Structure formats: C-alpha cells, structure tokens
Amino acid sequence: KQGFASAQGNLGVMYGEGKGVPQDYKIAVKWYSLAAEQGDATAQVLLGVMYDEGKGVPQNYKTAVKWFRLGAEQGNADAQGSLGAMYALGKGVVKDNVYAYMWGNIAASNGNENGGKLRDLVATQMSPADISAAQKLARECVRKKYKGC
C-alpha cells in the first residue's frame, strides 16, 4: 500500500499462484496493475499474461500487447518473447512474422529460451528476404534500446 512496486508485484504473484493465500486472479490483477503502472517490467509481463488469458479481467489481447510492449521496451526478455508470440498469432496486433521473428530473436539474445523457439518456428514460414529484414529490424531495435520498435 506504500507504493513499493516490487512488493506489489510479489503480492500479485502470491495471489495469482495461490502461494500462502487463496488464489484470486482479481486481487492479483490489482497488485500487478499497481506495480506495472509504476514501471515494474516483471509486473507488466504478468499483467499482460492476465489480459492475454482472461484471468481476473476480461480477455483483451490489445491490452495484453500494451503491457508486453512496455516490458519489452525495458529489456525484459519474457515481455519480448510474449510480444513476439502475439505478432506470430495475430493476437491484439496484425499477424506479422517479421515482427514475431524480430522480437523472438531479441528475446533469445536476452536469455529467453522460448524466444529462440518462436524465432525458429516463424522462420520456417518466412522467405530469406523476410528473415534478413527481421534481423535488420532486430539490430535497429537493440541500437534504440528497444524503444519504438
């Protein structure tokens, strides 16, 4: 309640997973939201997951993308991988394998194993020119420190 984002995010995890308290997605969303609005990248990812899956809130892919993007811009590899998955599936954004590959590649380079799997999966559906374009976008995005990608 004192505005400490990390503690708020931890409370969200406790309620979201039912660790030491009864599982309650609505309460988890409340705590994730407080932390996410303060810029906590982990809470932004977890809040994005709640909107993506419709847990504690009505399912809303565009709102999930918003939170994933905010976390991704801070360099959070999980957010980057999740954003790539949204592009791959066309959830909350127009389906775009180039951006799915780009975000998957960036996530993988930041240690997210699923990002590498996503990148490799969408690559099977892309031309060499598209892959080259995605790699160029990824390099530019890293250069811009993930802002405006």
Within a 13 Å sphere around the CA of 52, how many CA atoms are in the beta-carbon half? 22
pLDDT of 139 > 70? The answer is yes
Q: How much is the average pLDDT of 15-32?
A: 95
Q: How far apart are CA 19 and CA 104, in angstroms?
A: 31
56: left (phi over 0), alpha (psi -120 to 50) or beta: left
Q: How far apart are CA 101 and CA 119, in angstroms?
A: 5
pLDDT of 2 > 70? The answer is no
Taking only the tens place, the pLDDT of each residue in 64-115 is 999 999 999 999 999 999 999 999 999 999 999 999 999 999 999 999 999 9
Residue 106 contacts residue 142 (beta carbons within 8 Å): yes
Taking only the tens place, the pLDDT of each residue in 101-132 is 999 999 999 999 999 999 999 999 999 999 99
| pLDDT > 90 in the chain, percent | 93
pLDDT of 1 > 90? The answer is no
pLDDT of 10 > 90? The answer is no
CB atoms inside a 10 Å sphere around CB 144: 11
